[in-house]
Amino acid sequence: MIGTLIQGILETRPNFIAAAAGVCTLTAATLLLLMRNLDIASHQQRLFAAVWLAVVAGVGVWTTHFVAMIGYRPDAALTYDLTITLISIAVGVLAIGLPVAATVFFDAPMIRAGLGVIAGLGVGAMHMTGMSALMNCLPTYDPFVLIFGLLLGAGAFSWALSLEGPGAGIQMQKALGIIVGVCGLHFVAMASTSLDFVEGAVAGIGGSFLSIMVAIVAFGVFTVAVLMTFNHRRTLAQLRHG
């Protein structure tokens, strides 16, 4: 299995691996900033944070996936169905973002851990939806490697979201859990994937268009999210020290 995992990683260009890891790290950092000081927030402020947590988590994981996919198999010109690619954003927000957002309303570590499992499996759902958008090839999967990836994602998210505390060490552990849950699941799942190219397939969007779309969606969401996050943090900080 280790050889299969290494091969799966090597099929993505290193600069895109680094870019995907960077997007995932930014996503994790934004989520943690939104979650800070929520213990003193009003119900309305928690709802505000929850909405942005859902959007940032879903779009962040989606962006990580497709940034990595742009650099996947540089020897092959992969094309994607635009409608399914857009649907995969909604899957990310619903299947990943909602359980992450729900953790702000629960104090019990076991409940947050359970929501983390759902979010981790949601990463898998978003990944498989995104892969189903491929138009000029048919992906098949090694079930054992794929299940390992799903378990890795669910376990990492469960651990990360169950942690609680303001300390820098706890925050670093939570960020690490989120990053491992997203990037680990993606690359393990890609290691489980074999592509069979389909002759005469209907053309879809290619790497150039996909790159522009991913950049626009990610830049728009993260710009607004970062601005709203710092404003939200300033309000909560004033409550804590006021």
Three-state DSSP string of the chain: CHHHHHHHHHCECHHHHHHHHHHHHHHHHHHHHHHCCHHHCCHHHHHHHHHHHHHHHHHHHHHHHHHHHHCECCCCCCCECHHHHHHHHHHHHHHHHHHHHHHHHCCCHHHHHHHHHHHHHHHHHHHHHHHHCECCEEEEECHHHHHHHHHHHHHHHHHHHHCCCCCHHHHHHHHHHHHHHHHHHHHHHHHCEEEEECCCCCCCECHHHHHHHHHHHHHHHHHHHHHHHHHHHHHHHHHHHC
| Residue 237, pLDDT above cutoff 70 | no
| Residue 242, pLDDT above cutoff 60 | no
More confident residue, 96 or 135: 96
Query: In this predicted model, what pLDDT tens digit does every residue of 161-172 receive, in sequence order?
Result: 999 877 888 999
| Residue 204, pLDDT above cutoff 80 | no
Model-level pTM? Answer: 0.89
Query: In this predicted model, what pLDDT tens digit does every residue of 3-52 receive, in sequence order?
Result: 666 766 778 888 999 999 999 999 999 898 888 777 767 778 888 889 98
The predicted structure's pLDDT at residue 5 = 67
How confident is the model over 100-128, as a mean pLDDT? 95
Q: Output the average pLDDT for the chain.
A: 87
